[in-house]
Amino acid sequence: YMTWNEVPAAPLDPILGVNQKFQADTSAEKVNVSIGAYRTDEGKPMVLSCVKKAEALLLEQSDLNKEYLPQRGDATYVQLCQKMLFGEKSKLLASGVVATAQTLSGTGALRLGAEFMKKFAKGKTVYISNPTWGTHNSIMTQAGVPFSHYRYWNAAGRDLDLAGMLEDIEAAPEGSVIMLHAAAHNPTGVDPTAEQWGEIMTVCKAKKHVCWFDSAYQGFATGDLDIDATAMRAFADEGLPLFVSQSFAKNFGLYGERVGTFSITCDTPEAVKAVMSQLDIIIRNLYSNPPKHGANIVKTVLSDPALYQEWRDELKAMSLRIQDMRTALYDELTSLGTPGSWTHITSQIGMFSFTGLSPEQCTQMVEKHHVYMLNNGRVSMAGVTSKNVKYIAKAIDDVVR
Ligand code: PMP
């Protein structure tokens, strides 16, 4: 009979693995800035108040049952999510040409998109930013979808390599799929400006590319849901074909509830019907149907004007605390006289700071100072607090000297 003695142990996940190492560290000083999860200024995970209220409302609903959802998920939830992504005034939504399925958060949305591509965009390559959230690459590998990269990061200026990005998107074969971070690029914290987005759109349009917006941080770049959707909505208005993966992990703090959507823009409502029927089949054979609880929370908040406003306020507060920590870390480094320029810490946006520390310096941060960050220099600013910021700054100061 088969044994599994020959199965090699897999390497730790590049992000979740750092988290595991953090858990095992017994140092009292240890700091975890590896994972993109929001923490309060006390360093604690946070459940949003609008979420608690929605859950209380859900408990009161006597007709709430635990029946299966359809493969594509809850229809009302999906409609509310579409509005949040494309906007109340979206022409695409008015003409009924967006196919959207509820998914297992953003990762599930990405995987569903990859499975769809494997069936209906055979041989097409997905172009992913370099660098990116590493799972973009591994999802494509696991799903068997060819992928390549476009330049994104200009290390010297710690900003966007727009010329390189445009050149690579231009050089991609016509009708390729270009993965774009909708807002708050992970890991660099650098988004294109409105003007740069315009240039990216022009090239994508000329090359008839499909643009795949990965929206995992809507509201985290500027604190405003609509402003953070501006680029994607401009592409939609311009009529470019889009895929959109959406996650409520960060902006709703619903990490473990696995709430998201995947959308495909189509030409006609008939095409939407057919595409949805195909997504149903893919989902049926992956996990049958999505979980209800998280979607019910989001549905409750998005359909209640008072709760919706409360959520927007809470989202703004989270993004403001992160901005405060950027300033605090910058100030600490400046007062220590740490060699180098650190203005990128305050100019970068979203959850992360791409510090520019070398892999060796990152290793020292972890091994010597117990500051758990990614080896590519990414620090989750959401894990920085007024208590640990001095310690983190001192550690950075030590490893760069
Ligand atoms: N895309 C990007 C760019 C991300 O950073 C993340 C979360 N780290 C995701 C998608 C998806 O995360 P989740 O599956 O938890 O929604």
Write down the pLDDT at residue 15: 83
For 237-279, how does the pLDDT look when each residue is reduced to its tens digit (9 = 90+)? Answer: 999 999 999 999 999 999 999 999 999 999 999 999 999 999 9
- Note the pLDDT of residue 17: 86
Sign of the alpha-carbon torsion through 192, 198, 203, 205: positive
322 pLDDT band (50/70/90 cuts)? very high
pLDDT at 135: 96
Q: Is residue 359 over pLDDT 90?
A: yes
Count Cα atoms within 13 angstroms, Cβ side, for 61. 14
Ligand 1, atom 13: closest residue by C-alpha: 106
Report pLDDT digits (tens) over 120-138: 999 999 999 999 999 999 9
For residue 8, say if its preceding peptide bond is cis, omega within 30 degrees of 0: no
> What residues are annotated to the active site?
133, 214, 250
Q: What is the pLDDT of residue 354?
A: 94
Tell me the torsion sign for CA atoms 107, 113, 117, 120.
positive
Tokens matching residue 86: 């494309």
Query: Which residue's CA is the closest to the ligand 1 atom numbered 8?
Result: 36
How far apart, in whole angstroms, are the C-alpha atoms of residue 244 and residue 238? Answer: 15
- Name, in order, each residue with C-beta under 8 angstroms of 176's C-beta and a sequence gap of 6 or more: 124, 125, 126, 127, 207, 209, 210
The residue-averaged pLDDT of 299-322 equals 97
The answer to whether 266 and 260 have CB atoms below 8 angstroms apart is: no
Query: β-pairing, 159-160 with 177-181?
Result: unpaired
Instruction: Write out residues with Cβ below 6 Å of ligand 1.
Output: 36, 105-107, 133, 181, 186, 214, 216, 247, 249, 255, 260
Please report which confidence band the pLDDT of residue 13 belongs to, taking 50, 70 and 90 as the band edges.
confident
Mean pLDDT in the chain? 96
C-alpha–C-alpha distance, residues 376 and 361, integer Å = 10
Q: Whose CA is nearest to atom 4 of ligand 1?
A: 216
Ligand 1 pocket test, pick from 218, 247, 287, 381 with the greatest ligand atom count within 8 Å of Cβ, gives: 247
- Residue recorded with tokens 């196919």: 99
Q: Count the residues in the chain.
A: 401
Residue 118 scores a pLDDT above 90: yes
Global pTM value: 0.96
